[in-house]
Amino acid sequence: MSLLQHLSTSISSSSSAFLVHSNFNSRTKNVSLQAKRNGICKCVAAVPKESQTAYKTNVSRNGNLAKLQAGYLFPEIGRRRAAHLLKYPDAQVISLGIGDTTEPIPEVITSAMGKRSEELSTLEGYSGYGAEQGEKSLRAAIASTFYSNLGIEDDDIFVSDGAKCDISRLQVVFGADVTMAVQDPSYPAYVDSSVIMGQTGQFQKDVLKFESIEYMKCTPENGFFPDLSGVSRTDIIFFCSPNNPTGAAATREQLTQLVKFAKDNGSIIVYDSAYAMYMSEDNPRSIFEIPGAKEVAIETSSFSKYAGFTGVRLGWTVVPKELLFSDGFPVAKDFNRIVCTCFNGASNIAQAGGLACLSPEGLKAMHEVIGFYKENTDIIVETFNSLGFNVYGGKNAPYVWVHFPGRSSWDVFSEILEKTHVVTTPGSGFGPAGEGFVRVSAFGHRSNILEACKRFKQLYK
């Protein structure tokens, strides 16, 4: 069996089944989906009976983790998918849930990684620990590719193993005593990492929100941009554009408003631009296109969705020198300390791939793959439009945000899964304002996208 086959993901090794397939049997039962209240599936493992007599340490569980209501959203989707496959072993399940890239990585990029790998077995080519902030050449390439003329310098850029990891590292920098605002709906890692850090109070079941988090509603009614006049001040504002899950891309005007809001309030924006290259329209691709942003914003981005690097693991975060805490201390200095102490740099092989991505040939190749996924998105948008749904997103992001007014998004998710064997993501998983919506991801082989759309048409005709 080749190494590839050895390492292959099989259903049983996916994260969804990691804990379920353990020998710790009684816990497995508790993990299965039980209480469904207000459209939320409570998938919290209760304390198994066996461990009531088993040896326990005297170490208290971290109260912050106890506040988390369920598993992280995407492994939950994975669990449902796995359970569905068990129920229908012959079903051709199509996954448009987790936004996982599916198309092969262009050769110009993989051959660079192959070359770097081989070089590691030579005297001249071997390298050990790299700079924790990333290889100079890659930082320079990122600066010139994405931030030229925006006054962002090479050493403002920190290369990492991805945006999700960077979000937690930023939270570690900020600590427990800051307040934060998120869009509602939003990528779950912002809220979850905030809970883990201890920035939030308890989850309020009546409104499905965490105490102390400011939720900035983004709906069709407000063009998916929050009414900032109704938003209370927080220290940190997470903002993602193009948006996951709604697909909305903020305009220059809106971002100017946001930067002003941050400036007036002395807040820091953490701007997630992981989908910037999916932008079709003329909206800003970086927060730093807005004058004054360097004094109020951090930007995080990723090669995941541009280069299919979801498994290879490479991203970056920009922390401008001008960004200062209230006592004048540069945020970048603290981020650097975290990067040096809590991290050891992205894999050198992944970084070689990143550099190839940013070569002229690499950029061209990435644009082609992005174009392919955008065509998928068009097909999905057209399908739901033709079925009479109100459809959002899809123009500037690989996500389609479909409205099912008055319905519970987990119910719609289940219905679609049961009746069409297509996995999507329920909108309420992204926040209470996601209720009534379903996110359909456009990452998939063309044939699967077409087949899924065929099935949608059948279900909802």
Partner 1 sequence: MVQASLKAKRDGVGYRTKVPRNVNMENLQNGYLFSEISRCKLQHIEKFPNAKLISLGVGDTTEPLPDIIASSMAEYALALSTPEGYRGYGPEQGYEALRKAIAESFYKDISVKDTEIFVTDGSQCDITRLQLVLGANVTIAVQDPSYPVYQDSSIIIGQAGNYKDEALKCRNIEYMRCSPQNNFFPDLDTTSRADIIFFCSPNNPTGHAATRKQLEKLVEFARNNGSIIIFDSAYASYIMDDSPRSIFEIPGAREVAIEVSSFSKLAGFTGVRLGWTVVPEELLFSNGFPVRNDFDRIVCTCFSGASNIAQAGGLACLSSEGLKATESMVQYYMENARILVDTFTSLGLEVYGGANAPYVWVRFPGSKSWDVFSEILEKTHIITAPGSGFGAGGEEFLRISAYGNRKCILEASRRLGSFFS
User: Which is nearer to partner 1, 178 or 231 (by Cβ)?
Assistant: 178
Q: Which is nearer to partner 1, 129 or 229 (CB)?
A: 129
Map residues 374-413 to x or -, x wherever contact with partner 1 holds by CB under 8 A: ----------------------------------------
Long-range CB contact pairs, 446-451, < 8 A, 24+: 446/372, 446/375, 446/376, 448/94, 448/102, 449/96, 449/376, 449/379, 449/380, 450/379, 451/92, 451/94
Respond yes or no on whether the N-terminal peptide bond of residue 245 is cis (omega within 30° of 0): yes
- Tokens of residue 54, six digits: 């088993």
Residue 101's identity, in one-letter code, is: T
Helical H segments across 32-151, by residue range? 63-67, 73-87, 107-119, 136-146
Cβ proximity to partner 1: between 106 and 242 the closer is 106
* Location of structure tokens 């007599």: 53
- Residues constituting the chain: 461
**Binding-residue pattern over the window 18 to 47 for partner 1, x denoting contact by CB under 8 A:** xx-xxxx--x-----------------x-x
Q: Token pair of 461, please?
A: 């005709």
Residues 260-299, interacting with partner 1 (CB under 8 A): 262-263, 265-268, 295-296
**Least distance from partner 1 to the Cβ atom of residue 3, Å:** 5
* Partner residues linked to 301 by β-bridges: 316
Among 212, 251, 310, 414, binds partner 1 (CB under 8 A): 310
Which of 39, 226, 345, 436 binds partner 1 (CB under 8 A)? It is 345
Instruction: Say whether residue 368 binds partner 1 (CB under 8 A).
Output: no
160: β partners: 315
Q: Which residue, 330 or 432, is less far from partner 1 as judged by CB?
A: 330
The number of C-alpha atoms within 13 Å of 253 and in the hemisphere containing its C-beta is: 2
For the bound state, the minimum distance from the C-beta of residue 156 to partner 1, rounded and expressed in Å, comes to 11
| Residue found by looking up tokens 């710790």 in the block | 24
147-206 binders of partner 1 (CB under 8 A): 151, 161-162, 164-165, 167-168, 172-178, 188-189, 192-193, 196-198
Residues within window 412-441 making contact with partner 1, judged by CB under 8 A: none
Is 308 in contact with 101 (CB distance < 8 Å)? yes
Q: Which is nearer to partner 1, 63 or 89 (CB)?
A: 63
Judged by CB under 8 A, the stretch of 199-207, 249-257, 308-316, 389-397 that binds partner 1 is 308-316
Tell me which residues in 87-126 interact with partner 1 (CB under 8 A).
98, 100-107, 109-111, 113-115, 117-123, 125-126
Helices (H), 120-183: 136-146, 163-174
Instruction: Sort 32 into a burial class: Cβ within 10 Å, 0-12 / 13-18 / 19+.
Output: exposed
> Interface with partner 1 includes 60 (CB under 8 A)?
yes
Quickly count: other Cβ atoms within 10 Å of residue 454's Cβ: 12
- Which position among 154, 214, 235, 451 is part of the footprint of partner 1 (CB under 8 A)? 235
Residue 214 contacts partner 1 per CB under 8 A: no
Q: Which is nearer to partner 1, 132 or 435 (CB)?
A: 132
| Structure tokens belonging to residue 280 | 């079709």
Task: Single out the residue of 157, 12, 35 nearest to residue 89, CA to CA.
Answer: 12
User: Of the two residues 281 and 327, which places its CB atom closer to partner 1 in the complex?
Assistant: 327
